[in-house]
Amino acid sequence: MRRPPQIPGGESGRSRVGLVAMLLVLAGLYAFPSFVQSPYALHIMILLFLGTIMGESWNIIGGYTGQYSVGHAAYFGAGAYGTMILLQKWEIAPWKGVFAGIAAALVLSLVIGSICFRLRGPYFVLASIAVAEIVRLTALNLPNVTNGAEGILMSDLPPLSIGGRVVTDFVSKVPYYYIGLTLALFTILVTWLVQHSKLGYCFQAIREDQDAAHSLGINLSLYKNCALGISATLTSLAGSFYAIYIKFIDPTTVLALDLSVQIVLIAIIGGIGTIFGPVVGSLVLVPLAEALRSNIVAQWLINSGLVREDSGLGVFLKENLAHAHVLIYGILVVVVILFMPEGVLGYVRKLSARKKG
Amino acid sequence: MALLEIKNVSKFFGGLAANSDVSFSMDEGMIMGLIGPNGAGKTTLFNCITGYYPPSRGEIVFAGRRMNGLQPDRVCKLGMARTWQKVRPLAKLSVLDNVMVGALCRTNSLSQAQELAMEQIRVVKLDHKTAFPAGGLTIGERKKLEVARVLATQPKLLLLDEVMGGLNPAESEEIIRLILAIKQKGVTQMVIEHDMKAIMRISDRIVVLNSGEKLAEGTPEEIVANPEVVTAYLGSD
């Protein structure tokens, strides 16, 4: 029996078009590195994938289950440190170290879950921040294990070989591109599977009304911990990927509150509780942050002739706009949250629904 | 043997006794009406029975099993399901998905859950609204949705907390028919209701609570004739 659509109105024709479009995008993404060699373009794409992985993983616990964890840096850091420590201290290849990262993140999520899920709403948010800060401070003060504030610099990345044949030696950005793309697709697939299973129903029931869900036979702590476990696993993958790509980690980058907030924003800006919301969020936030940081905006204003380069304003913008990127980023986030409470994806959907009548 | 036995149940909130020393038992297949003035402890008793509050004293025995201290989800799995006085639709989910959440209590397969859910949606006559988000339903429809959702958990004992509250007479009549139809299927029910006419019509027996204590128990005819009940409701003199 076919499931009737969630929103009244036919969806079958649209879904076929959507499927074709999705396959085209996918083919384009896999072919991308053969057409574009610019390392900067590849770098931006890799950041997009990373953003998508982080947003999708948070979406499972925050978007579907309604538990707004603002401490996901802890799992990201677990993945990053797990992989990096094994590589630097015991020369264990990252594709094996990833699993250590996952194990660390899972254990951490069980500990955090068993403490924080006793709390609801804003209290849960606060507890999740607090526990992540404890993890950061612990990493900072365990120099024997984590190298403390100095962080860990990767000295040598062994080539990836399968059955004796070297697949890649990681010299260019292309292998990272494909790893990132594959991981991003994997997290989207996991989200799709969750949404189309009993888990998805239980998660969403908990989000909509915990007490009602409880009375309908849903074991709250079991399903919340399950959601957090899935989310933590995927986030730790993002952390491992980040560590291997950037080749340097320290507590202020991979365990910081900043990072936790950014993960949440990707999902919220894009549209929470939807499969493609975090993809949209990543598409909005990553280029935005990059454009502001690299001062593209000031350059564009000057080049387009709107502002003269030698005028007072021109000099001011050129010198200061890049420093103001966090401020502008913040204002834009506030605007989106105020005017698009369902996220960019939800807003676009609403607009297109209105157009149709 | 009785399906549900309430043995000397008390529930204290600080010094306040919301229920004190309440005892009664229910046989399989009957409808028990639970009435009493506001604040008599009816909903508190529901919460004690379904695991939301642990009773301070006393024992709740369901199908021969002691229920004290079990979590609400276990209680539901064991066959006791409740509705809420203030309806709790899963607002963003469709009517079908709401009822499927209930059905998933008994199965892990979505297609099976969907079949079970459709069956219950037809029973409460909401089949024209299956794809509708539950948040957009009228109060009457929400109450029906609530009933369909608990029915989908396939309970042996159904506890209905004011399912007719806030409904117009035509809607109430529908709910009354629904309750009687559920009885026909052999599901035991405990019903909290303020509408006296309705409760007299559907109940096999009635328990009257007043200030947390059991004031009277009997058939509807006995309850109407009981002077103490009349005093509790209308005041003395």
What is the predicted ipTM?
A: 0.91
Distance from CA of B77 to the nearest CA of A (A): 6
Q: Band of the pLDDT at A13, cuts 50, 70, 90?
A: low
Does residue A6 fall inside a structural domain?
Answer: no
- Whether residue B164 is found in the same domain as residue B213: yes
CA pair distance A263, A69, nearest whole angstrom: 10
CA pair distance A272, A214, nearest whole angstrom: 23
Residues with Cβ within 8 Å of residue B37, at least 6 apart in sequence: B210, B232, B233
Per-residue confidence (pLDDT) for residue A12, from 0 to 100? 56
Asked whether the predicted pLDDT for residue A325 surpasses 90, the reply is: no
- Whether residue B176 is found in the same domain as residue B219: yes
Chains A and B: how many Cβ contacts under 8 Å?
A: 93
Cα distances (Å, whole numbers) of residue A339 to A11, A277, A283, A292, B135:
27, 16, 18, 22, 22
Does residue A96 fall inside a structural domain?
Answer: yes
Does residue A70 fall inside a structural domain?
Answer: yes
- Whether residue B179 is found in the same domain as residue B134: no
Residue carrying the six token digits 């009957």: B30
Does residue A243 fall inside a structural domain?
Answer: yes
Contact A198 B52 (CB under 8 A): no
Q: Band of the pLDDT at B181, cuts 50, 70, 90?
A: very high
- Whether residue B71 is found in the same domain as residue B184: yes
Residue carrying the six token digits 């050129």: A318
Q: Band of the pLDDT at A195, cuts 50, 70, 90?
A: very high
- Whether residue B168 is found in the same domain as residue B234: yes
- Whether residue B237 is found in the same domain as residue B175: yes
- Whether residue B33 is found in the same domain as residue B133: no
Interval A319-337 mean pLDDT: 76
CA pair distance A127, A175, nearest whole angstrom: 38
Q: Which residue in A1, A8, A215 is closest to B132 by CB distance? A: A8
**CB proximity A201 to B under 8 Å:** yes
Q: Band of the pLDDT at B236, cuts 50, 70, 90?
A: low
Single-letter amino acid, residue A214 = H
Summarised one tens digit per residue, pLDDT across range B98-110 is 999 999 999 999 9
Asked whether the predicted pLDDT for residue B128 surpasses 80, the reply is: yes
Please give the DSSP secondary-structure letter assigned to residue A273.
T
CATH of residue B214's domain is 3.40.50.300
- Whether residue B74 is found in the same domain as residue B1: yes
Distance from CA of A197 to the nearest CA of B (A): 7
Q: Which residue in B90, B105, B114 is closest to A1 by CB distance? A: B114
Side-chain half-sphere CA neighbours of B28 within 13 A: 10
Domain termination residue (choose one: B97, B128, B154): B154
Summarised one tens digit per residue, pLDDT across range A214-263 is 999 999 999 999 999 999 999 999 999 999 999 999 999 999 998 999 99
Distance from CA of B227 to the nearest CA of A (A): 37
Residue pair A269/A343 in contact by the 8 Å Cβ criterion: yes
State the greatest distance between any 2 C-alpha atoms of chain B, in Å, as a whole number: 61
Does residue A211 fall inside a structural domain?
Answer: yes
Contact B93 A205 (CB under 8 A): yes
Domain termination residue (choose one: B103, B130, B154): B154
Does residue A66 fall inside a structural domain?
Answer: yes
Q: Which residue in B90, B132, B133 is closest to A209 by CB distance? A: B90
| Domain interval for residue B47 | 1-79+156-237
Does residue A64 fall inside a structural domain?
Answer: yes
Centre a 10 Å sphere on the Cβ of residue A55 and count the other Cβ atoms it contains: 32
Q: Which residue in A1, A198, A215 is closest to B76 by CB distance? A: A215
| Domain interval for residue A61 | 38-271
- Whether residue B3 is found in the same domain as residue B68: yes
Asked whether the predicted pLDDT for residue A15 surpasses 80, the reply is: no
- Whether residue B175 is found in the same domain as residue B225: yes
Distance from CA of B72 to the nearest CA of A (A): 5
Domain termination residue (choose one: B154, B180, B211): B154
Residues in chain A with CB shorter than 8 Å from the CB of B72 are 211, 214-215
- Whether residue B177 is found in the same domain as residue B193: yes
Does residue A125 fall inside a structural domain?
Answer: yes
Per-residue confidence (pLDDT) for residue A10, from 0 to 100? 42
Q: Total domain count for chain A?
A: 1
Residues in chain A with CB shorter than 8 Å from the CB of B150 are 215-216
Q: What is the DSSP string of B142-178?
A: HHHHHHHHHHTT--SEEEEESTTTT--HHHHHHHHHH
- Whether residue B2 is found in the same domain as residue B21: yes
Q: Which residue in A3, A208, A218 is closest to B114 by CB distance? A: A3
Per-residue confidence (pLDDT) for residue A94, from 0 to 100? 84
Q: Total domain count for chain B?
A: 2
